[in-house]
Structure 1
């Protein structure tokens, strides 16, 4: 029986690796190719056949929506399952993709289970589930890791890195040292406004304060919850700035997690969020945020 073939299209290497390794961990017999943008994917689809396309929406040169429209205009690709992997959940974007012939959506950030469930569903509709099942291993036992991104990228062998509870994290490279003076008063979570946003993880959404930001990464402060964010966990940072309510959805992963206050039971965490987007529009948006002085460099919890 021939292998099931999948084309992964995303301009962010981290996301491509996350998808490829996540699929291979569940379906070791699967054949996976990848492309850095829609234009490259076009060339690959012209010369090869694929059973499924997993594609990012926002990419340079050719977007996911443009690639989808092109695919549906090709006789051999009219019925090929096409899953859009995106942080865009607005109604108008969903409607636009449906009208263009999208098969399904995977929202960023996503877990391995969400990814494989969508893949099984799409290939089942295409009659390829038998070939997929033939290559699937027995379901792995629970490794105790809550971080799907880390498990996928390390093959389930690495330990989850937990934040150091007794020290204040050093500033990320390229950032000025934050002036933090923990207050005794009970802090309240950020909910909106200058220098604030929300961080979407597979496990839920966290309000956050942006302490520093560059084209490479952002230094965020979030209130500690029952589930700790994990190093290498994929996420989406939503920022709304300006009178027009312009929203940027920045894809990335957690590069570092540490306690903000110098005490074991610190209520606040400091996260280094590394951006993975290569989209010129998002880089331009980040440049404008930096120019506006978006970050709250002197943020004090509870102040």
Structure 2
């Protein structure tokens, strides 16, 4: 059965990222694209749609206005609508809930977070059979779920030495996705990638004599972990936070969260391709 998804976002690279991700995990889907709410309306009026993925901030007609229109039309009222936006404040989420949003995903997001939301919406609407546990089940960040109103924030998945060595039997160890090299001054720190989005990358490294400090300006080299390795060089970034992986003073591993310093359009395109192609 063909699943028809309408993707509405004014940023071309975001549409490309989402489109490639959805097609990778749901090859039976057909994706229709719109750069604003007006064009989305036109598609909806001439084409049956099973799921709407929309940005909030767009020229002409915003995602919020599109959502209000969709819920006001009887023939579209029950179509699942997922709002994907960097507007993660409680006020915006509340407005989306009041307008009838089905789910809410905050930017930045990973392919796993996106597909968790997409599959959940399609299963609930009866367009997709329930998937087995463990298939693209990432929960997402602090504003990726409507559960923020209940105070039940999605848990942050921790890790351990087993995450790097492959030992141990823990079920929640993160799946490492590639390698990273952090450079600052004359120092280099080799890391493993735990998660990555258009705006930031979370890596884990072995404890070392020196680690970059918070707000330290660094340069990154990132390599994917699949057989067709892809590498991005010279990414300018800064360290947002560091923390011990394990809750003990002799932890052998350190989490390093690094945020990109305003990547240009070409770098954002490379990052989106890098994210989609990761294992």
Specify the TM-score bucket, using the shorter chain as the normaliser.
0.5 to 0.7
CA RMSD after TM alignment: 4.1
SS at 1:67 equivalent: helix
SS at 1:28 equivalent: coil
**Count of paired positions:** 182
Alignment-derived partner of residue 15 in structure 1: 14
1:1-303 matches, cutoff 5 A: 2-130=1-129, 145-146=177-178, 162=181, 201=200, 203=202, 222-223=215-216, 256-257=235-236, 271-274=260-263
CA distance in 1, matches of 2:128, 2:89: 31
CA distance in 2, matches of 1:97, 1:127: 23
CA distance in 1, matches of 2:77, 2:19: 24
Is the Cα contact below 8 Å between 2:5 and 2:51 reproduced in 1?
yes
CA distance in 2, matches of 1:55, 1:123: 15
CA distance in 2, matches of 1:120, 1:274: 30
How far 1:270 moved relative to its partner? 9.2
Q: Which deviations, in whole Å up to 9, do the C-alpha atoms of 1:239-271 show, x marking residues without a partner?
A: xxxxxxxxxxxxxxx9823799xxxxxx9x894
CA distance in 1, matches of 2:91, 2:20: 32
SS at 1:8 equivalent: strand
**Kindly tell me: are residues 36 and 145 of structure 1, through their superposed partners in 2, closer, same or farther at Cα, counting changes over 3 Å?**
same
How far 1:143 moved relative to its partner? 9.3
**Kindly tell me: are residues 112 and 78 of structure 1, through their superposed partners in 2, closer, same or farther at Cα, counting changes over 3 Å?**
same
Instruction: Report the TM-score, using the length of structure 1 for normalisation.
Output: 0.50
Q: Which deviations, in whole Å up to 9, do the C-alpha atoms of 1:17-36 show, x marking residues without a partner?
A: 11111111111121111111
CA distance in 1, matches of 2:24, 2:73: 32
How far 1:53 moved relative to its partner? 0.3
SS at 2:66 equivalent: helix
Is the Cα contact below 8 Å between 2:86 and 2:106 reproduced in 1?
yes
SS at 1:75 equivalent: coil
Give structure 2 stretches of 5+ with no counterpart.
138-173, 188-197, 204-213, 224-232, 240-255, 266-279
CA distance in 1, matches of 2:53, 2:234: 25
Alignment-derived partner of residue 270 in structure 2: none
Instruction: Report the TM-score, using the length of structure 2 for normalisation.
Output: 0.54
